[in-house]
Structure 1
Amino acid sequence: AGRGDELGELSAGFNEMVARLRALVSQETGRKEMLGKIFGAMREGLVVLDRNGRVALTNPAFRALVGEEKPEGRFLWEVVRESALAELAQTGNGALTESATVRLGGRGFLCSATRIPAGGETVITFHDVTEVERMAAVKRDLVVNASHELRTPLTAIKGFLETLSETLTGDEKRYVEVISRHTERLINIVRDLLVLSQVEEGPKLEVGPVKLDRVAADVLRIFERRSREKGLELKLEAEAGLPAVSGDEFHFEQVLVNLVDNAVKYTDAGYVRVRLARDGERVKLVVEDTGIGIPADQLPRLYERFFVTDKARSRKLGGTGLGLAIVKHIVLQHGGTIEAESDPGQGSRFTVTLPAA
């Protein structure tokens, strides 16, 4: 009887274990089916690479994109012949997540690669941005065409206003000067819109070795009179033996003009200083001032188009809110970085780093 009870308990325990295993298998099967449905319903292409870079898992959208029924087991570069995508797939040695825009079959895709540290797999998603790119091109063309159409009549208006101002006195002269000042602001906006559109489009750069100390000296001469009128000290400090940087000299000049212009514009006392120094394999350019500064909550928005920290002062001084957007695009095009630091009432510092030639 005792042995029979033991067998009964053993049998009951075995049956309970089988029931639990069945529940776990059913639960796991349900999860797999759910994941399969999610992958199948995704409009974005998805591919999972193993630690060796071979395709381990794909969804229908990816297979349709590359025109392959069974890409599993092959290297990604065998499935998709795209150098930018191959570089993105190597994200395992860098950051956990990286992104790049690639073109496949005449369409543009924003691809994001995420590394899974535990198993070494890499998950890559493909988001179709063709329509977004098309709309951006339409907007860019509209801006360029409108700017070209506005530039000629605005220049004519400005010229006639200056001529008219010479023949007037009193309030009439003051009214014309106000109109002329706002016309000049419109001309500046049109000019900056054209420059920004050209930069965003990715123009062909005339790349060569550029001596930033010489460019900076030339740019500071442009602002000598304005600085003197405001009682500002304009300083250039360049490290001896500074290496050249590789890029387009005209665009580097635009970067310096915009940064120094802002510094002079928003500084009423003290100095504006440009410093150049070697920083490892890069050259560091710093433009700092003792001006009104920038509130901390506004620093993340500095490079947005038309964003200005002091709207009243910007209107008075003819600012367009496009200068820093232009600066950032140019710096990024040249493989550089830009950072802003500021203390309200103490001044601002913009630091640009560029690869040495």
Structure 2
Amino acid sequence: MHKEVFSKQLDFAALLHDVSNIFEGASLIVNQIIDGAYGCSLEEIRPFLIALQQTNKRGVDLIESRRVNEEVGVVNVTQFDVLVFLQKNYSQFKPIAQYYSLNLHYQTQASYKHGTQVRGDSISIDRMLCNLVTNAIKYTKKGDIFLRLLNQGDDLIIEIEDTGCGIATEQLSNIFIPFWRSPQSRLSEKPGRGMGLYIAWIVAYAHGLSIRVDSVATQGTKFTIQFPYKDDGIYGVDGRMLPKSQRLQDALPV
């Protein structure tokens, strides 16, 4: 198959994967509100309505970004505060974790050496983080999930850690391959498509970030995303995204 055709098919499969996850999450929250799981008064359910609103907006933004990228061929690089960004992610996923009787924790530092401003495609970075948190929820039957923003030296670090099924050491080299699923993940009651980690890898690569995984089978997994320090104090890309063809050629660990 021609590489360009394969690339478009992967892009479309990735889009369907993320849109489907968004709809599933929104539907879960709506059903829980209807069942009264979050309370009955407006004040009780307001945080969950806000989470639902943010989840819906994420889906709209994703589709609109794809449309603009197809028509104009330009990726929208902006500057944003990743601390605020992660707080929104936490708010969106807290009711979903609660539904599965999981504890979602959001951990930050009192201060950050060079601040928390990031330059990049915020919609793509959101896709990367949401896929990692979704996987953590999907493959954790009980226990805790941690979303952290830390400093490691001068660098800015995002950690997503769970107490789930984990990944065997011999399988770690395969996890970013599209459509691949580990034997442990196939035991989950929540179906997967094998696209989430591929999407996370591609987004990290395009932004010049490193993404590392530490995992022990049956004990849990931790993903670490490293934003290297830049002299101007703004983490992320320097000015432009790497072209899609280069991402595909160099990023896939196959």
Q: 1:223 aligns with which of 75, 93, 97?
A: 93
Q: Structure 2 counterpart of 1:321, which letter?
A: G
Report whether the alignment pairs 1:139 with 2:13: no
Report whether the alignment pairs 1:206 with 2:76: yes
Q: Structure 2 counterpart of 1:272, which letter?
A: I
Which consecutive segments of 4 or more residues in structure 1 shift more than 3 A?
A: 141-148, 310-314
User: In 1, distance between residues paired with 2:197 and 2:227?
Assistant: 17
Report whether the alignment pairs 1:328 with 2:204: no
**Once the two structures are superposed, what CA deviation does each residue of 1:59-109 show, in whole Å capped at 9, x if it has no partner?**
xxxxxxxxxxxxxxxxxxxxxxxxxxxxxxxxxxxxxxxxxxxxxxxxxxx
Any stretches of 5+ residues in structure 1 without a counterpart?
1-133, 155-190
Q: Which residue of 2 aligns with 1:312?
A: 186
Report whether the alignment pairs 1:277 with 2:144: no
User: In 2, distance between residues paired with 1:135 and 1:144?
Assistant: 14
**Distance change >3 Å, CA 267–CA 142, structure 1 → 2:** closer
Q: 2:215 aligns with which of 333, 339, 342?
A: 342
Any stretches of 5+ residues in structure 2 without a counterpart?
21-61, 235-254
What SS does structure 1 have at the residue aligned with 2:4?
Answer: helix
Compare relative contact order (CA 8 Å, sep 6+) and give the higher one, 1 or 2.
2
Structure 1 position 220, deviation (Å): 1.8
What TM-score results when the alignment is normalised by the length of structure 2?
0.61
Report whether the alignment pairs 1:256 with 2:96: no
User: In 1, distance between residues paired with 2:100 and 2:9?
Assistant: 39
Structure 1 position 318, deviation (Å): 2.8
User: In 2, distance between residues paired with 1:232 and 1:146?
Assistant: 29
Q: Which residue of 1 aligns with 2:164?
A: 291
**Distance change >3 Å, CA 272–CA 329, structure 1 → 2:** same
User: In 1, distance between residues paired with 2:12 and 2:87?
Assistant: 35
**Once the two structures are superposed, what CA deviation does each residue of 1:247-289 show, in whole Å capped at 9, x if it has no partner?**
1111111111000000011111111001111223421111001
Structure 1 position 141, deviation (Å): 3.9
- How well do the aligned residues superpose, as a CA RMSD in angstroms? 3.3
Structure 1 position 138, deviation (Å): 2.7
**Distance change >3 Å, CA 355–CA 206, structure 1 → 2:** farther
Q: Structure 1 counterpart of 2:82, which letter?
A: L
Structure 1 position 325, deviation (Å): 0.5
Larger radius of gyration: 1
What TM-score results when the alignment is normalised by the length of structure 1?
0.45
User: In 2, distance between residues paired with 1:345 and 1:147?
Assistant: 28
Please say if residues 267 and 290 of structure 1, whose CA atoms lie closer than 8 Å, have aligned partners that are also in contact. yes
Q: Structure 1 counterpart of 2:172, which letter?
A: L
Q: Structure 2 counterpart of 1:347, which letter?
A: G
Q: Which residue of 1 aligns with 2:105?
A: 235
Q: Structure 2 counterpart of 1:291, which letter?
A: G
Map 1:1-357 to 2 at 5 A: 135-141=2-8, 204-242=74-112, 243=115, 244-309=117-182, 310=184, 312-313=186-187, 316-356=189-229, 357=234
**Distance change >3 Å, CA 205–CA 294, structure 1 → 2:** same
Number of equivalences: 178
Structure 1 position 140, deviation (Å): 2.7
